[in-house]
Amino acid sequence: MSIRMSHLGIFLSLILFIPGCASKRPPALSAECADIALTGQLNVLTLNQPFDTPAAERRKSWADIAQFAVTNNVHVLLLQEAVMTDVDRIRTLLGTSDSARDLQLVLNERSTDPYELHVAWETGVPLVLTTANAILSRCHVTRHFSTFLPIESEMVFEGINLKITRNVQAAHINVPGYGILHFYNTHLCSACSVEALRRQVDGLLGFVQQVEAVASSSHAVIGGDFNLDSVKGPAEQSVYETIMNGGFRDSYAEYRKAKFSEEPGTLCRNGVPDIHCTDGVSPLQGLIDRQTGADFSKPTRVDYLFLRGANTVDRSNVVFNPGNAMTGPISPAEPAVSDHSGVFTQIRLGH
């Protein structure tokens, strides 16, 4: 289970701060995706990229993500741990002053249709180093907003409980013939208690209910890094079931059961690395792990795409999970773009 966000303050303490100039950001582009109205197929990818990815690996990952997005016709990309900085030294280490914006530029160099970018700040020190969730969409977003989730302690550093702000962002699109679609992108606490995870899930679902009460949607997607291992034990299974009882379906588990008769409880079970795991199955590590000599995390399935509405799952895959020195090869032909794998789902919209 990732604890990168909890170490953001430690990362800052390792850097000699030299203020830099803010980079000028290009204007937002208008995006459409009329093919969904024609085919009824919506393709969504959720992916967590560590905020402290080294510069060379980050640049390669942008190219690999963009190639995947074009090849698989990704309409909406839910991104967690986008990073922003105006400090020259940090920008040099990370290879970016705004990783979500830079990824958008690479995507739009390759994509026939442009991706809009919508960002929701999450935690950090403004102008020095901040992280955010981001939604990149080829569909025009008619409304975008976000809210913070309950603040929880995520680690103890020298006797101090460190609390990290987490959020959920919402984006609305309208597809002719299929109505309003709501996308929710989130990143829940890591290295926190199950009770803390439950409070944040309750906050997430409460926010969704409030949004749907004001502007109901025909289809809703919640994606992100939940730091929730549904097969770890009864406590985390109960939190997972809370989401399911809220009217949502686990797109990947649903597809694997329908296509391969695999039960949700068998996917990446007991830390055994396989094609279903989304964390601990990549050779990439952030700068903090390299600095501290941290080993690869135990393989888990903590990244999800949950669906609600009259739709079916045509296909759902865990992508970018090649395996590492500890796990051995899993899908070695796939590039590693993060220390997390992504979840890619093709949704057939219903009426």
Please indicate, yes or no, if residue 3 is contained in any of the structural domains: no
Q: Say which residues have a Cβ less than 8 Å from residue 120's Cβ, sequence separation at least 6.
A: 132, 133, 134, 146, 167, 169, 185
Q: At what angle do helices 234-245 and 194-214 cross, to 10 degrees?
A: 0
Residue type for position 224: G
Please indicate, yes or no, if residue 4 is contained in any of the structural domains: no
Neighbours of 105 (CB within 10 A): 14
Please indicate, yes or no, if residue 28 is contained in any of the structural domains: no
12 falls in which pLDDT band (50, 70, 90)? very low
- Lay out the sheet containing 41-48: strands in order across: 116-125, 129-137, 76-84, 41-48, 342-349, 311-319
Please indicate, yes or no, if residue 163 is contained in any of the structural domains: yes
The H or E element containing residue 289 is helix 287-292
Please indicate, yes or no, if residue 46 is contained in any of the structural domains: yes
Q: How far apart are CA 338 and CA 321, in angstroms?
A: 9
Write down the mean pLDDT value for the chain.
90
What value does the CA radius of gyration of the chain take, rounded to a whole number of Å? 19
Specify the higher pLDDT residue, 80 or 5.
80
Domains in the chain, number: 1
Please indicate, yes or no, if residue 161 is contained in any of the structural domains: yes
Q: Do the Cβ atoms of 349 and 36 come closer than 8 Å?
A: yes
Backbone angles phi, psi at 60, to 5 degrees: -65, -40
CATH for 68? 3.60.10.10
Q: Say which residues have a Cβ less than 8 Å from residue 214's Cβ, sequence separation at least 6.
A: none
Q: How far apart are CA 327 and CA 32, in angstroms?
A: 41
pTM of the model as a whole: 0.91
Please indicate, yes or no, if residue 104 is contained in any of the structural domains: yes
**Largest alpha-carbon pair distance within the chain?**
57
213 falls in which pLDDT band (50, 70, 90)? very high
Q: What is the pLDDT of residues 219-234, one digit of tens each?
A: 999 999 999 999 999 9
- Is the pLDDT confidence value at 26 over 50? no
Strand-pair partners of 79: 47, 134
Alpha carbon 333 to its chain's center: 22
Domain assignment of residue 194, given as a range: 35-349
Please indicate, yes or no, if residue 2 is contained in any of the structural domains: no
Alpha carbon 110 to its chain's center: 22
Q: Do the Cβ atoms of 19 and 88 come closer than 8 Å?
A: yes
Q: What is the pLDDT of residues 103-152, one digit of tens each?
A: 999 999 999 999 999 999 999 988 899 999 999 999 999 999 999 999 99
159 falls in which pLDDT band (50, 70, 90)? low
